[in-house]
Structure 1
């Protein structure tokens, strides 16, 4: 039997070790995400908190009850969303002024409608649930809609992606496939050498 190709073997083993390491890392991330989701699930049973003016990334109060005093609506954005009955349409998010000219502001999901047109609402005190926001980290989903809108679907932990276990399986499969390809190539190389 011919000697193993040292350079290629080192590269393949390094790649396989990296893929296995990434798979283990994703398993750790899956465990972390499951603990985080359990915390979020428990948040709905906890008392209401003050809406955070500056969210702390390590301790985001997602799914906690809170309230915001929207002093003035500075802008609107409409994003695809569902109402409390699960119908598709538009969730209307108000960018609210909350304190002074340079206050931190807040994003408030005022409600849902079939139209993307901005609702007529100038602001008021809003109670709701804190949810993730792709642009501003946090938003408050109003428990009772305003300005003639319908109630938006309440935030759910089911909307928080948790695909780390799938990624882990992929990395382990990639490592296994790389080893199979390496051994098949080695076998073909040895067969060709034996015929020569």
Structure 2
């Protein structure tokens, strides 16, 4: 057994602080897990609400809600990796749409999926109905329920697809804390023997 009076003060305090910090991070991850589950539940309940008009400015509180917007004309295109409704990998085609007299795109619309990265040539805009989804670049985008000519419908946004790895992160932090404490105890025992 290691006598308390024989413990090196500074290393012991540093290891104790590190272990306490890792345990605190593990507890925080467990709290984040509960918050993420509540968020997913809230988003899942929005799909039953009535549709809304496309929000100006973008409002992430409306994620996963049905909405309708009007694309006067697509001013730019981008393609991102995505899936169609059958789960096939390919490209989602997103139009940056002009929605009014203002400058620049006012709405991002996922108009469909294809195996090719090339955007559709035949889609010139119009009324779009679909589901509001997160867009890393523009905050939100409207995922059209119907595909543009020549494209297939994309997989519907689902809040259940949101990653929730917080329990794994918590276990990882608790493991690190236990490993650090064990390594320190073994190092102390070795030091006391020599």
Asked if these proteins are the same fold (TM beyond 0.5), I'd say yes
SS in structure 2 of the partner of residue 85 of structure 1: coil
> 1:36 pairs with 33, 36, 39, which one?
39
In 2, are the aligned partners of 1:23 and 1:171 still within 8 Å (CA)?
yes
| Matches of 1:150 and 1:98, distance apart in 2 | 24
| Matches of 1:90 and 1:137, distance apart in 2 | 20
In 2, are the aligned partners of 1:76 and 1:93 still within 8 Å (CA)?
yes
Deviation for aligned residue 1:69: 0.5
Alignment of 1:57-96 (within 5 A): 60-96=61-97
SS in structure 1 of the partner of residue 157 of structure 2: coil
In 2, are the aligned partners of 1:53 and 1:104 still within 8 Å (CA)?
no
Per-residue deviation, residues 75-112 of structure 1 (Å, max 9, x unmatched): 00111111111111111000111121236611100001
Q: TM-score, normalised by structure 1?
A: 0.92
SS in structure 1 of the partner of residue 26 of structure 2: helix
Q: Which runs of 5+ in 1 are unaligned?
A: none
In 2, are the aligned partners of 1:89 and 1:114 still within 8 Å (CA)?
yes
| Matches of 1:3 and 1:104, distance apart in 2 | 69
In 1, are the aligned partners of 2:64 and 2:132 still within 8 Å (CA)?
yes
| Matches of 2:102 and 2:118, distance apart in 1 | 27
Deviation for aligned residue 1:189: 0.5
Aligned to 1:138: 140
SS in structure 2 of the partner of residue 117 of structure 1: coil
In 2, are the aligned partners of 1:66 and 1:127 still within 8 Å (CA)?
yes
Cα RMSD over matched residues? 1.4
| Matches of 1:75 and 1:153, distance apart in 2 | 22
> 2:27 pairs with 24, 27, 36, which one?
24
Aligned residues between the structures: 190
Is 1:115 matched up with 2:116? yes
Deviation for aligned residue 1:148: 2.3
Q: Write out the 4+ residue segments of structure 1 that deviate beyond 3 Å after TM superposition.
A: none
Is 1:159 matched up with 2:161? yes
Deviation for aligned residue 1:158: 3.0
Is 1:4 matched up with 2:17? no
Per-residue deviation, residues 127-172 of structure 1 (Å, max 9, x unmatched): 0001111211111110011132111111112321111111111111
The 10-residue stretch of structure 1 (113-122 or 176-185) with the greater mean CA deviation from structure 2: 113-122
